Structure 1
């Protein structure tokens, strides 16, 4: 007997619609979907909705996968690099360009992290800048821009006369 599928391509579990709730049986496809959605930063309730289960069922059957939530994005990115490299080695020019772009983004991210831009430091440890100081800095920048523009116009007028 072939399995039935719902509107979204999910298999309809045997006994669905009968009295009592049939036990949930996670598949490898479900595990991969959970890992992908965690890598994309989805919250548990949203992942559970995507699978058609409750958040409690998600926690019960995918506890081991969910403990590795932080590593999922790194694994996804590593797999993307691996696929791009395989395609580039096979002679795919578009994959070679995309691999170069991925490497550039990775290098930029690494440099920003080393410079402290994308750091995980709490905001409280950084110097807080108030609204008055920000307004003052903007005013000084606007004054400098205005002076540069006036000097440019003066130089332009001096050349034409």
Structure 2
């Protein structure tokens, strides 16, 4: 077999090609809170390679797996699994409580430049603070 003179000789390692199983592994490890360093080491690749080929899994892996777990909870709850029903009820209560807290929080009104500077001047401390008034020796009935 003769090589064509126009075709360059292939050298070096072949390009990395992630498998479906590796993609699932990255999502699972991301869901469990593992660092990118740990995930890359477990796959035997560099962190840069991990970021290049598994960007979608790193970005959305946690959300995708959480969606999957919540789906399993709803399936179990619809099968009258009491533990799943209680967990879903708890998750709903926590979510609604967080929404209620956000709704109750009132934002401070936006201040103008002059108002911000006046407040900053009132809060000056240290050696530039306004000195305290002198203490009177005699109390004149006040």
- The one of 40, 55, 63 equivalent to 2:47 is 55
Larger Rg: 2
Q: Distance in 2 between matches of 1:48 and 1:113?
A: 38
Cα deviation code 1:67-126 (max 9, x no counterpart): xx1x4433333322221111011121111111111212222333344445xxxxxxxxxx
- The one of 98, 101, 108 equivalent to 1:109 is 98
Go from structure 1 to structure 2 and tell me whether the alpha carbon gap of 1:115 and 1:54 turns closer, same or farther (over 3 Å shift).
Answer: farther
CA root-mean-square deviation: 3.1
| Matched residue, 2:118 | none
Question: What is the number of residues matched between the two proteins?
Answer: 96
Q: Is 2:84 the counterpart of 1:95?
A: yes
Q: Distance in 2 between matches of 1:50 and 1:113?
A: 40
Q: Which moved more, 1:75-84 or 1:94-103?
A: 75-84
Is the 2:26–2:61 Cα contact (8 Å) retained in structure 1? no
Q: Distance in 1 between matches of 2:97 and 2:72?
A: 21
Q: Distance in 2 between matches of 1:109 and 1:59?
A: 33
- Structure 2: any 5+ residue segments left out of the alignment? 1-11, 106-142
Task: Give 1 or 2: higher helix fraction.
Answer: 1
| Matched residue, 1:26 | 18
